[in-house]
Amino acid sequence: MEEAVVKTSYGKVRGSTRDGVTAFLGIPYAAPPFGPNRFQAPRPPEPWDGVRDAVEYGPTAPKPGYPKPYDSMLPDPDIPGEDCLNLNVWTPEPGGSGLPVMVWIHGGAFRNGSGAVPIYNGRNFARDGVVCVTINYRLGVEGFANLPGAPLNRGLRDQIAALEWVRGNIAGFGGDPDRVTVFGESAGGMSVSTLLSLDLGLFGRAIAQSGAGGIAQDPDDAMLVTREMAARLGVEPTAEAFAALAPAAIMPVQSAVAAEVAALPDPGRWGATTAAGGMSLTPVLDGDLLARRPEDAIADGAGRDVDLLIGYTSEEFRFFLMPTGLADDLTEELVGAVTTAMGVPPGLPAAYRGHHPDMTPGELMATIITDHMFRIPANRAAAGHVASGGAGGTWMYEFGWRSPVGDLGACHALELGFVFDNLTKEAEGLAGPNPPQALADRMHRAWTDFAAHGDPGWERFDPSARAVKFFDGPADEVVKDPSGGDRELWD
């Protein structure tokens, strides 16, 4: 195994080369967010002398483990240490120049995940001529709680700091800072849509997987969550009081409140914007960094010159209902009550039932919330991006291949192994033992072509025709307005 050394703004790093790809792991892009940096905006890392080894993943941000049965479906390594604001780079040419760059923002409901998740290994992007970067950012209370006395959206600010590091340093790894694509899934896709809406000038292309622009908490709603956690912890709802507690002491309460919000998204208790997303901690409308809901800003022209590829899986919400058995406990009345609490117009469940008379209540619930949280926001973001009239093109995809595992179907997060071309054993929890490699070949190629050339290989999205690339197996087709009858209910 060969070594390679690259100079960054803060010091030299030593990576390792294998099979034509050099990996630099655990490079700090910001100072450890602890001690005086706790609950503060990200600050630059301390420079170092000599050459820093970058051959192992760095510490991950504090986070809980996934509950069963998701812990076996979503490998999520926990690497201890305070220097958790780090990133990883895979490059085919550390001494080269002008290569396209892809920066991955992981998902995990703003509570879990890291750039060290095995399925996010960027080696196969580098194999195909792309410099791939994966990042960590602060999660949960540390990154997203509304804490008086602390800046809001700390995790989002971490993502921006990582993109600024990429702009200033990626040329040393062979990448072109003017050819950056930011991509992410779930909370990462929501982050991509949010970053797109901020017009930062830090990337020219964006891929939002299963996360469009409808998620942003009202600050008062976010404070309801903070006060509930503070009461259970026996502290004041302030940054100073939370800073007196170790992250590990906060985590059980954070997890309990998150589970309650997801299980019963009551707008009366948690606020309408919290209930709508079913997540307790998300980006907050702070009136400063994030002044508007991303989909509204995009419709008004934010990110209009950025190329956008956006999409979802066909049966996203089965992931949240089927493995736990929740789907079996749902009644028609509960479907109506829960969807209404999440902001679905009251008449829609009955209309969906008319379109899908043979579905069980659990299947109906999965279909409605898939549309509410993923398909409809993606369509709105794409239509708004087109209508803005900027230089950026717009493309949409749907991932429809159905997993053989349980009743997952074409569920949330299933496409990840295909996008990264990593159908390894880590992908088996969702995709089973023999997922179709040919589908991964095509999907991975579309992502690399988009990053390299600004065209994933099918016709652009237009609200009048709604062309959607359907990734489903032997032959991927472009479908006009898939599930259009359901979509029209939301108009």
Instruction: State the catalytic residues.
Output: 186, 316, 412
Pull the structure tokens for residue 117: 């998740």
Give the phi and the psi of residue 191 in degrees, each rounded to 5.
-65, -40
Stated as kind and residue range, the H or E segment containing 401 is none
- Which spans in 170-218 are helix H? 187-196
Strand 467-471 with 477-480, pairing: antiparallel
Sequence-separated contacts (24+) of 322-326 with Cβ below 8 Å? 322/362, 322/366, 322/406, 322/407, 322/408, 322/409, 322/411, 323/69, 323/70, 323/73, 323/406, 323/408, 324/69, 326/362
The torsion angles phi and psi of 178, rounded to 5 degrees, stand at: -95, 5
Question: Token digits for 298?
Answer: 């995009």
> Which tokens is 257 given?
């409140």
Q: Would you say the C-alpha torsion 235, 237, 241, 243 has a positive or negative sign?
A: positive
8 A C-beta contact, residue 419 and residue 447: yes
Peptide bond into 36 cis (omega under 30): no
CB-based burial of residue 97 (10 Å sphere; 0-12 exposed, 13-18 middle, 19+ buried)? exposed
Number of C-alpha atoms within 13 angstroms, CB side, residue 166?
33
Q: How far apart are CA 221 and CA 479, in angstroms?
A: 39
Q: Is the CB of residue 14 less than 8 Å from the CB of residue 5?
A: yes
Q: 């117009």: which residue's tokens?
A: 345
CB-side neighbour CA atoms (13 Å) of 437: 2
CB 182 within 8 A of CB 195: yes
- Cβ neighbours around 365 below 10 Å, total: 27
